[in-house]
């Protein structure tokens, strides 16, 4: 099996894939037409990418059966085209969560203590302790999190260590117990003020704007999809407190940067960004963004996931995905399988484990014009008998069921169950 890695990737991962006996091609410079040509000429089975875009045109002439995004998101891959072509798409969720959370918290600290400005002035020979001694501090303040997946939860853990309160919105919902502790995060402890009742660990709100209105620092950690594109808009910035902090280490497309620019000027928001509305397509390039030039706005180079630890973890997860696929035909973390098939009924067929039994069943269904959506065949002990659960679209007529049952001596029983 051939694996083409068309992006930067850890050497440890390349070595591990080759140790599996795979034919690994490492060509990180391939993009667009050159990538499409390489896939067509090499007859590659598995494609590994990071930021490289995989379009319908790139897939058209390929023999791909699996695309792995060596990272958390997969918005750079045309998933609909992959699904139409029967190509699995998989990713590595959660493997860079700590790295992104570390950068996001570093940016929050930089905003609060104005660390970049401190460094700049000292390098310019200016000592200004009086000015830089002014800082609100983080303890007791409220961190607003838009998104409460793996990165948002890593942010929440760090906020607790800093003695902060939390305000949260998530498109997929947040489960919080009566005691205010997130259901999946039992390590949390309550914040208590001397002589006062405990505050809830997490306050969950129904919209991003409500979180913005109830926090001092707003940090974005949502995945990019059709529901979150532009979700942080003018209404969110209008709700923020004057002088509040805003951090985005997620995706540039989830934020209305024109509205953010206006809010920086009008409400004096302090902002830290790792992602932008328009980013260079190459690792090094000229970069111009009016927002970054504004006072109180800091920027980094889309490096949230780029620590040695996270890259090693992503490489290891990529190897695990491919190894599982090669060894079992199954794909961990697959993102483009249907959550609900069109099946309306299940044909349950008990049969002796003999050649031709399932072919007989499928032939009768084909003759009746009934499509098979999914099949599961479970073998009993000693491999003498089995039961096949065949999900089908449409209820088979009684005569078809009778033909299945009587037309092969190894069929023991057949019954139909409607899908609930």
Q: What is the pLDDT of residues 206-235, one digit of tens each?
A: 999 999 999 999 999 998 888 999 999 999
* Confidence at 204, pLDDT banded by 50, 70, 90: very high
Instruction: Note the pLDDT of residue 258.
Output: 96
Q: Is the pLDDT of residue 196 over 70?
A: no
**Does the annotation count 251 as an active-site position?**
yes
Instruction: Render pLDDT for 117-158 as a digit per residue (tens, 0 to 9).
Output: 999 999 999 999 999 999 999 999 999 999 999 999 999 999
Instruction: Render pLDDT for 363-408 as a digit per residue (tens, 0 to 9).
Output: 999 999 999 999 999 999 999 999 999 999 999 999 999 999 999 9
Instruction: Give the active site residue among 279, 320, 354, 395.
Output: 279
Domains of the chain: 2-95+309-328 (3.40.50.720), 97-304 (3.40.50.720), 345-418 (3.30.70.260)
Instruction: Give the active site residue among 50, 69, 114, 251.
Output: 251
Portion of the chain with pLDDT greater than 90, in percent: 85
* Confidence at 195, pLDDT banded by 50, 70, 90: very low
The per-residue DSSP string of 89-102 comes to EEE-TTTTHHHHHH
Gap between the Cα atoms of 206 and 171, Å rounded: 9
- Count, residues in the chain: 420
Q: Is the pLDDT of residue 173 over 80?
A: no
* Confidence at 61, pLDDT banded by 50, 70, 90: confident
- Supply 259's token pair: 């509205």
Instruction: Note the pLDDT of residue 188.
Output: 46
Instruction: Render pLDDT for 90-107 as a digit per residue (tens, 0 to 9).
Output: 999 989 999 999 999 999
pTM over 0.85: no
DSSP β-ladder status, 46-49 and 2-5: parallel
Q: What's the angle, vertex CA 398, arms to CA 394 and CA 399, rounded to 5?
A: 110
Higher pLDDT, 196 or 240: 240
Cα-based distances in Å from 69 to 4, 42, 93: 12, 20, 10
**Does the annotation count 158 as an active-site position?**
no
**Does the annotation count 154 as an active-site position?**
no
Q: Do 245 and 272 meet the contact criterion of CB atoms below 8 Å apart? A: yes
Instruction: Note the pLDDT of residue 181.
Output: 53
Average pLDDT rounded to a whole number, residues 289-316: 94
Average pLDDT rounded to a whole number, residues 261-272: 97
Q: Is the pLDDT of residue 164 over 60?
A: yes
Higher pLDDT, 403 or 306: 403
Instruction: Give the active site residue among 113, 158, 302, 350.
Output: 302
């Amino acid at each position: 099996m051939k694996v083409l890695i068309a992006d930067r990737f850890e050497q440890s991962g390349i070595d591990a894939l080759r140790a599996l006996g795979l034919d690994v091609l490492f060509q990180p410079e391939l993009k667009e037409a050159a990538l499409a040509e390489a896939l067509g000429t090499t007859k590659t089975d598995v494609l590994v990418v990071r930021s490289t875009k995989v379009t319908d045109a790139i897939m058209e002439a390929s023999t791909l059966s699996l695309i792995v995004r060596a990272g958390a998101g997969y918005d750079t891959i045309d998933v609909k085209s992959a699904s139409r072509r029967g190509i699995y798409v998989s990713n590595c969720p959660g493997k860079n969560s700590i790295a992104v959370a570390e950068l996001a918290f570093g940016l929050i600290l930089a905003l609060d203590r104005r660390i970049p400005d401190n460094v700049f002035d000292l390098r310019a020979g200016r000592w200004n302790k009086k000015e830089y001694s002014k800082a609100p501090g983080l303890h007791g303040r409220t961190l607003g999190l838009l998104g409460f997946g793996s990165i948002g939860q890593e942010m929440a853990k760090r906020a607790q260590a800093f003695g902060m309160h939390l305000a949260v919105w998530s498109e997929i919902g947040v489960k919080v117990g009566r005691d205010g502790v997130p259901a999946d995060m039992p390590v949390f402890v309550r914040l208590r003020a001397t002589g006062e009742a405990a505050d809830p660990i997490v306050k969950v709100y129904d919209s991003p704007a409500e979180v913005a209105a109830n926090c001092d620092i707003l940090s974005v950690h949502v995945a990019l999809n059709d529901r979150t594109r532009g979700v942080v808009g003018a209404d969110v910035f209008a709700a923020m407190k004057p002088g509040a902090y805003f951090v985005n280490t997620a995706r540039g497309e989830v934020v209305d940067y024109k509205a953010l620019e206006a809010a920086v000027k009008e409400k004096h928001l302090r902002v830290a960004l790792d992602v932008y509305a328009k980013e260079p397509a190459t690792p090094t390039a000229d970069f111009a963004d009016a927002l970054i030039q504004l006072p109180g706005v800091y920027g980094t180079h889309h490096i949230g996931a780029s620590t040695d630890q996270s890259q090693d973890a992503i490489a290891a997860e990529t190897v695990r995905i491919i190894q599982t696929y090669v060894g079992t035909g199954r794909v961990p973390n697959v993102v483009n399988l249907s959550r609900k098939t069109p099946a309306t009924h299940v044909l349950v067929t008990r049969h002796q484990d003999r050649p031709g039994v399932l072919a007989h069943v499928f032939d009768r269904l084909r003759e009746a014009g009934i499509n098979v959506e999914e099949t599961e065949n479970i073998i009993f002990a000693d491999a003498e008998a089995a039961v096949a659960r065949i999900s089908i679209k449409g209820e088979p007529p009684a005569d078809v069921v009778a033909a299945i049952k009587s037309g092969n001596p190894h069929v023991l029983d057949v019954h139909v169950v409607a899908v609930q």
